[in-house]
Amino acid sequence: METNGTTRTTRTNGADKTTTTRTLGRSGIEVSALGFGCWAIGGEWQSPDGQPLGWGKVDDEESVRAIRRALDLGVTFFDTADTYGAGHSERVLGRALGKRRDDVVLATKWGNLFDEHTRTRVGQDASPDHARSALTASLTRLGTDHVDLYQLHISDAHPDQAARLREACEEFVREGLIRAYAWSTDDPARAAVFAEGEHCTAVQHAINVLQDAPEMLALCEESNLASINRSPLAMGLLAGKRQGALEAGDIRSRPPAWLEGFDEGSGAAPDWLARVDALREILTSDGRTLAQGSLAWLWARSPRTVPIPGFRSVAQAEQNAGALEKGPLTAEQLAEVDRILGR
């Protein structure tokens, strides 16, 4: 397999199909072309002022079943963070993987401080010392001796701080605690600082059919990085379900400034829903659901993309994983999306 982030093709039942694997940038680490994001399964947590930071209540047993179902359907990449649910997401993911830990590529993040008992985020720490202590704690919660991809979770950290953290990550690689590292940020200039490190292999950033990120994709191409796609379904707008008023513990019920597409107290913004409706026919062509078509757009957008949609149920896991066998949109469909959105 090529190690430049491209997919490979196999023949199944007599027909050419795009397979389910990609490579994480320069690392040579192979993952499923679709990852699963584990923010939602962390359950409810909050900021000190009571701002919800999770996606509402969650059933841990259903989360475990969904993770294991995803594994059975060929998903081998799982992305979490120490702060999701104030440590709870890592614990649930570690329990679900159990003896199958070596069958997956495991990613987590650090940089936020939290109180695990009150499930409250209490600050940030961009020091190398905290990076080490956070990694140790994550390894314990995940029940593993190493993390495959360790990601800085402070999107606006100063580049000088990031350079020190990059060197700390190189030391973690030498010690065998991690295999590679990345930065979760939407700023290409910041991502480029981490990209200078030998074992930096990806950047995690927001991108979906409604919100393109051409500068970040260009950086990934230039620096041989994987593009790990946060919010691939636009925080649920592209999941196929009309969002009305949301429960109080859902971050979308009181959207922070960075969360576009939702109005406080009323759910999805009408103008964003209109854009989704305009794309519905093209995204649901070829037998895809709206969510599957949105993931297919990302695969067509760049050969380096690895979308990580969230999930809270077996049914969501099955729908998302079902996108794999259908593969990317065609170049013609990609162009049609641009035409519809006036890009």
CB-hemisphere CA count at 13 Å for 158?
6
Reported as a single tens digit per residue, the pLDDT across 279-329 is: 999 999 999 999 999 999 999 999 999 999 999 999 999 999 999 999 999
Taking the C-alpha atoms of residue 82 and residue 111, their distance in angstroms, rounded to an integer, is 9
Whether 308 is covered by a domain: the verdict is: yes
Taking the C-alpha atoms of residue 192 and residue 275, their distance in angstroms, rounded to an integer, is 32
Whether 3 is covered by a domain: the verdict is: no
Whether 4 is covered by a domain: the verdict is: no
Taking the C-alpha atoms of residue 83 and residue 201, their distance in angstroms, rounded to an integer, is 22
Whether 2 is covered by a domain: the verdict is: no
Whether 1 is covered by a domain: the verdict is: no
Nearest to 81 by CA among 118, 124, 117: 124
CATH number at residue 40: 3.20.20.100
Reported as a single tens digit per residue, the pLDDT across 183-208 is: 999 999 999 999 999 999 999 999 99
Which domain, by its residues, includes 244?
9-341
Q: Are 148 and 181 in contact (CB under 8 A)?
A: no
Reported as a single tens digit per residue, the pLDDT across 218-254 is: 999 999 999 999 999 999 999 977 656 678 888 988 8
Whether 182 is covered by a domain: the verdict is: yes
Taking the C-alpha atoms of residue 134 and residue 113, their distance in angstroms, rounded to an integer, is 9
Taking the C-alpha atoms of residue 328 and residue 64, their distance in angstroms, rounded to an integer, is 28
Task: Report pTM.
Answer: 0.93
**Domains: count for the chain:** 1
Q: Which residues fall within 8 angstroms of residue 58, CB to CB, at 6 or more apart?
A: 40, 41, 42, 43, 44, 312
Nearest to 80 by CA among 47, 102, 112: 112
Reported as a single tens digit per residue, the pLDDT across 6-50 is: 444 333 332 233 458 999 999 999 999 999 999 999 999 999 999
Whether 272 is covered by a domain: the verdict is: yes
Q: What is the DSSP letter of 96?
A: H
Whether 175 is covered by a domain: the verdict is: yes
> Which pLDDT does position 19 carry in this prediction?
56
